[in-house]
Amino acid sequence: MKLRTLVTAVSLLVTSQFAFADRFADVQINSATLAKDIYMLTGAGGNMAAVTTADSVLLIDSQYVELADKIRAKLKTLSPGELTTLINTHMHGDHVGGNAALAANADIIAHVNVLTRLRNDSNFNPAGLPKTTFDKVLNIKHGNIELMLEPMPASHTDGDILVWFPQFNIVHMGDLMFQGRFPYIDFGNGGNVQQYIENTRYVLQRIDDNTQVIPGHGDLTNKAGLAKELKMMEQTMAQVVAWRAEGLTEQQMIDRGLGEQFNAWHWNFITEARWIKTLYQATQP
């Protein structure tokens, strides 16, 4: 190996290791105002929301522990108050990773199945475990702002909730919506594609053209965006059902592909092949 090649190889190695260690270095936490004292926050991982009063903050989801300082700093720009309440939309690491770092002294509210699953996860810091759990609709208030926490039948996981802001026509869907991309169905934690589609229909019946929809991932959206997602799921599901009737194997389905009209839904986590596998598994006779 020539010296120059060796130097290049070594520097590439160093660069890639550094990039891995520092994967959150460039992440910024941004906020968008959805209504007075209600914000959507983005960084890396699941979209968050915050509700503020002059002396307290309620947060929905906590992204990753590595981002806790940045999240805390962003919240300070919205209200000088302490974080008093954290709601988790479900149990995935990109939604609960910052729980202990941000909210060890706050109330942490989640579906009872979130507590069960996180308690069984030896890597999860117990200081971040939910303290208030529920499995039926729970209404709470932060300042004058009402929140309705609604558990949904198992679909993304078995502990998903919708967080409604009935006074403001806003809903945080957690990972019951992936805006503009194939959704992740976590079969190992109770996921179910047919129910995910049912849950999407359920939400569509309860919102109107002015509803602001916070998805678990992707941009702030609305009823039209959710309807588009539903149509994609219905069409791709119908395709896999038809292929099954033709007798295609999973690999043959992946080789055929869903077609150009679905290219835009493909992303690094749920690729087109992974979505086809998800639908294949969901349509097991």
The residues, ordered by sequence, that sit 6+ positions from 21 with a Cβ below 8 Å of its Cβ are none
Binding pattern to Zn ion, positions 38-77, x when CB under 5 A? Answer: ----------------------------------------
When the beta carbons of 92 and 117 are compared against Zn ion, the nearer one is 92
111 touches Zn ion by CB under 5 A: no
When the beta carbons of 37 and 150 are compared against Zn ion, the nearer one is 150
CA 29, CA 133: separation in Å to the nearest integer? 28
CA 275, CA 283: separation in Å to the nearest integer? 12
CB of 103 to Zn ion, least distance (A): 19
CB of 95 to Zn ion, least distance (A): 6
Q: For residues 197 and 235, is the Cβ–Cβ distance under 8 A?
A: no
Give 217's DSSP letter: B
CB of 61 to Zn ion, least distance (A): 10
> In 10 A of CB 151, how many CB atoms?
19
Any idea what the Cα angle at residue 117 is, between residues 103 and 187, rounded to 5°? 125
| Per-residue b or e along 58-84, where b marks 16 or more CB atoms closer than 10 Å to that residue's CB | bbbbbbbbbbbebbbebbeebbebebb
175 touches Zn ion by CB under 5 A: yes
Residues binding Zn ion: what is the number (CB under 5 A)? Answer: 2
**What single string gives the DSSP state of each residue in 165-201?**
ETTTTEEE-GGG-BTTSPPP--GGGT--HHHHHHHHH
Binding pattern to Zn ion, positions 115-144, x when CB under 5 A? Answer: ------------------------------
When the beta carbons of 158 and 175 are compared against Zn ion, the nearer one is 175
**Among the residue ranges 90-98, 118-126, 165-173, 236-244, the one whose residues contact Zn ion (CB under 5 A):** 90-98
181 touches Zn ion by CB under 5 A: no
* Selected binder of Zn ion within 43, 66, 83, 92 (CB under 5 A): 92
- Report the interface residues with Zn ion, using CB under 5 A: 92, 175
